[in-house]
Structure 1
């Protein structure tokens, strides 16, 4: 690989560490978690997560970030058998300046929506939700440090299902090398205000930007440890692998 190609791949890798970068990407992220309920059930979740930026004017972008979960699970609620289908879709829109602030801060804010697309009561909430979301980060040389957060309240849906008031916090730090390797540490923590419970997985992962022909792709592998979770939630170690298709302008 030439030096110019390495620099281009490294730039793509750094953009992937920025949730509001002006880069179309389509990640397919597969997660495995274990330990649900008294039967220590298993869950595999394929998150399809297209990120599409739109230019509003010469100063502002809006970035659409969608999470479409496809879930396979077994005995997650005692001897509850198998479920397979779509979970609830999370749709975020970040309004973000095209240029960082004078201090190098990159930020975006906007609304987040929870869509009740779950195809089974054990993999969907049955609720329509909405709330605010924000991301703040700084990229300095090979380092990216920041945090993404949102809060969702349920506003409609099945009256027989529990209401939702949930905060999501994702602090992250990553280091990208000159040959497009990225090492990332983050949490994807959720606080359920109705149940007064935290879910805190700590994720460590490594990614590499490669090309299949002319198509740039980021390949990711990692592990997570559940530092805390509800009593019927996952525990111990989980796994993550991902393939992200990149479409630079």
Structure 2
């Protein structure tokens, strides 16, 4: 993993420039250079705003957070998040989602410390009606915590499970709703702390006919074991583009860590992502 190490402090300027470049392409690309079919791009953008849409996609979400804790640490997290829908019947779909973090961090667990590797995987399955009524969409199912971390400092060492639920409404150009889960540990390393975490993610998106969009989401994690709360707020801009025959969505925006334990609170952060889209 040595080649994965990044000198965050020396590359902050170039990272900011890269984020701005992605943002400009994401906002304007679909309506100028890349867009081939605006109606199709608008429909794809609306489906991507829906966590339980019947659409195969492969998002790669890159989070860069700086000024973490007392040692001014930095963390780079690439979340690999494939979504695969499975048609169970004419009335019910199963939407499977995976989140696998690939992490590198410096000066977070202590001054001069550096950790790289995989974090714990979260697998979710949403049973959702195939047909919507009045724009109201929902899904419910299980969520699983898999101790896939390759470094002790990047994971819990526990298997976990619990329920997950999503509900949203799509009305004209707007999509708004929330996703929630609760996970308890059920097995794993007995020397590690138990897991008892609640996750809540409200979101809202506005999509233009070009496929460009503006969105905002809050991510709240409540750790019931130590009674700590972590909250991130992330506004972003996005756009659907065609790279040759491959449809993608590009998005970028800042991250604001408004609440966290002192050792984990970041001063500022950025998010940029690319989602590979495979329409039916």
What's 1:78 paired with? 110
Asked if 1:206 corresponds to 2:237, the answer is yes
Asked if 1:172 corresponds to 2:184, the answer is no
What's 2:53 paired with? 21
Q: Is the 8 A contact 1:175 1:184 kept in 2?
A: yes
- With normalisation by structure 1, the TM-score equals 0.97
1:62 Cα deviation from its structure 2 partner? 0.1
Tell me, in whole angstroms, the C-alpha distance in 2 between the residues paired with 1:159 and 1:94: 30
What's 2:8 paired with? none
1:105 Cα deviation from its structure 2 partner? 1.1
Tell me, in whole angstroms, the C-alpha distance in 1 between the residues paired with 2:139 and 2:223: 24
Higher RCO (CA < 8 A, seq sep 6+): 2
Aligned residues: 248
1:4 Cα deviation from its structure 2 partner? 8.1
* Aligned partner of residue 13 in structure 1, secondary structure: helix
Unaligned runs of 5+ in 1: none
Asked if 1:44 corresponds to 2:93, the answer is no
Asked if 1:64 corresponds to 2:96, the answer is yes
* Aligned partner of residue 41 in structure 2, secondary structure: helix
* Aligned partner of residue 37 in structure 2, secondary structure: helix
Tell me, in whole angstroms, the C-alpha distance in 2 between the residues paired with 1:4 and 1:201: 35
1:81 Cα deviation from its structure 2 partner? 1.4
- With normalisation by structure 2, the TM-score equals 0.86
What's 1:152 paired with? 183
Asked if 1:196 corresponds to 2:227, the answer is yes
Greater displacement, 20-29 / 230-239: 230-239
Q: In angstroms, what is the RMSD of aligned CA positions?
A: 1.4
Match of 1:32 among 40, 64, 74: 64
What's 1:223 paired with? 254
Match of 1:142 among 166, 169, 173: 173
Q: Is the 8 A contact 1:37 1:78 kept in 2?
A: no
1:235 Cα deviation from its structure 2 partner? 2.2
1:86 Cα deviation from its structure 2 partner? 0.4
Unaligned runs of 5+ in 2: 1-30
Match of 2:42 among 7, 10, 15: 10
What's 1:115 paired with? 146
Tell me, in whole angstroms, the C-alpha distance in 2 between the residues paired with 1:37 and 1:179: 41
Q: Is the 8 A contact 1:35 1:233 kept in 2?
A: no
Tell me, in whole angstroms, the C-alpha distance in 1 between the residues paired with 2:68 and 2:36: 48
* Aligned partner of residue 195 in structure 1, secondary structure: coil
1:234 Cα deviation from its structure 2 partner? 2.6
Q: C-alpha offsets along residues 119-176 of structure 1, whole Å, 9 cap, x if unaligned?
A: 1111011010100000000000000010000000011111111111000000000000
Tell me, in whole angstroms, the C-alpha distance in 2 between the residues paired with 1:92 and 1:71: 21
Match of 1:184 among 215, 238, 245: 215
Structure with higher strand content: 1
1:104 Cα deviation from its structure 2 partner? 2.6
* Aligned partner of residue 15 in structure 1, secondary structure: helix
